[in-house]
Structure 1
Amino acid sequence: MAVKFTRSVTLLSLLLILMPSQLVADNQPWYLKVEPNRCIALRQGQTCYQTLVFKWSVPAEKEYCFFQVPDSRPLTCWYGRGVLSYKGNFELDRSTVYQIRIKDKDVSVLETKVKVAWVYKTDRKNYSEWRLF
């Protein structure tokens, strides 16, 4: 009885060593995450500059592309499944949506948003007006 258990554990260990990415991908849910998920500029209307790291899992084996909405050109494309990532420097002046789509289709399978925030909001007063008194 102990021999069968040892062989089963050894066989399972061997499978985990030989095919770890495939086994992990089968158990992974669909997700798309970004870190950080907020970009902060000093004043309202200014562009914020941030290095963003996107991580996602796509368990279905297809051709996918990663987009910054509303751009029609993808940031990257790939074929396959599993856990992947993308790192880049971004210049954002407003909150921006990022999507993973099936290649050659306008179908979004995953989506996330990077919010842009400001430390100081602009005043409604216009300081360029002339004053006589």
Structure 2
Amino acid sequence: MERRLVSSGTDWEDEVGYSRAVRAGDAVHVSGTTAIDDDGDPLDAGPYEQTKRALDLVADALAEAGASVEDVVRTRMYVTDIDAWEEIGRAHGEVFGDVKPATTMVEVERLIDPALVVEIEAEASIAD
């Protein structure tokens, strides 16, 4: 089985020992993704905007691995305030529309930076 690593180029990947995404055969697994700007700093925005940005970055990683949002079969969303579920869910729904992957949303105490409110993982299947 072919295994291909996708990197975002951050120092974190080598330090922590992970990849932005991994394609193993026809499966693509995207690591937890947060809303960072082009400089790698947390996006100063609310839950909806952070979710949209994180999902844009997920889509970029999928594309680099040869997949797309339409291939996503599962997402996991970790949120720091479950009361923001409607904003986060609306952004998720706008991105995935009729794809409707299996998903989970759970509240966590915090993420790696206090400014971040959502982190998203994705899994895609690109079998013919």
Asked if TM exceeds 0.5, the reply is no
TM value normalised by structure 2: 0.26
| Structure with more of its chain in strand, by fraction | 1
| Structure with more of its chain in helix, by fraction | 2
TM value normalised by structure 1: 0.25
Higher Rg of the two aligned structures: 1
